């Protein structure tokens, strides 16, 4: 059984109205009232996302991991992996974040987003040329006039590491 459209609408409105300075306990209570009855994996994901959005990345990481382990369905699963990796990076765990992202960089639906965060992890790891290659490679297909040229130049970038 799916989640009813009204609950999804209320959840989208919650995220749109969330203030970055919101009090976690109050926002969590509001969120829980909306997602009551959602599948456990989705509840874990939404609660992780809230902590992440409010700057509590250390609290978000285990919730993302639990949501993924609980069988979070696509496209939320891919979103959770990207957000988990970003939180890991923000916690100075860029290598772990990169490992989460690399399997997604070729995914047609989320590859560009995963590549952007993987490039940030690579920069944190001092692997700047690799970061540039990854980011430009993901961008090239979205450049209607110059995509072919950019893709070609990516292969010619010097190895700066």
The predicted-structure confidence for 89-137, as pLDDT tens digits, reads as follows 999 999 999 999 999 999 999 999 999 999 999 999 999 989 999 999 9
The predicted-structure confidence for 77-94, as pLDDT tens digits, reads as follows 999 999 999 999 999 999
Question: DSSP states of the chain as a string?
Answer: ----HHHHHHHHHHHHH--TT--HHHHHHHHHHHHTTS-HHHHHHHHHHHHHHTT-HHHHHHHHHHHHHTTPPTTHHHHHHHHHHHHHHHTT-HHHHHHHHGGGTT-TTTHHHHHHHHHHHHHHTT-HHHHHHHHHHHHGGG-TTTHHHHHHHHHH-----
The predicted-structure confidence for 28-82, as pLDDT tens digits, reads as follows 999 999 999 999 999 999 999 999 999 999 999 999 999 999 999 999 999 999 9
pLDDT (average), residues 156-160 = 71
Q: How confident is the model at residue 16 (pLDDT cuts 50, 70, 90)?
A: very high
């Amino acid at each position: 059984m799916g989640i009813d459209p009204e609950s999804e609408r209320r959840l989208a409105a919650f995220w749109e109205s969330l203030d970055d300075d919101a009090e976690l306990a109050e926002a969590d209570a509001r969120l829980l009232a909306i997602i009551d009855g959602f599948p456990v994996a989705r509840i874990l994901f939404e609660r992780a996302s809230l902590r992440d959005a409010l700057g509590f990345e250390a609290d978000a990481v285990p919730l993302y991991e639990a949501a993924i382990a609980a069988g979070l369905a696509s496209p939320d699963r891919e979103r959770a992996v990207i957000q988990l990796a970003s939180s890991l990076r923000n916690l100075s765990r860029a290598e772990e974040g990169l490992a989460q992202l690399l399997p997604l960089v070729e995914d047609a639906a989320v590859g560009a987003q995963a590549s952007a965060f993987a490039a940030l992890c690579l920069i944190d790891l001092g692997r700047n040329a690799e970061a540039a290659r990854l980011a430009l490679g993901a961008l090239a297909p979205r450049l209607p006039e110059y995509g072919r040229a950019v893709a070609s130049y990516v292969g010619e970038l010097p190895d700066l590491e």
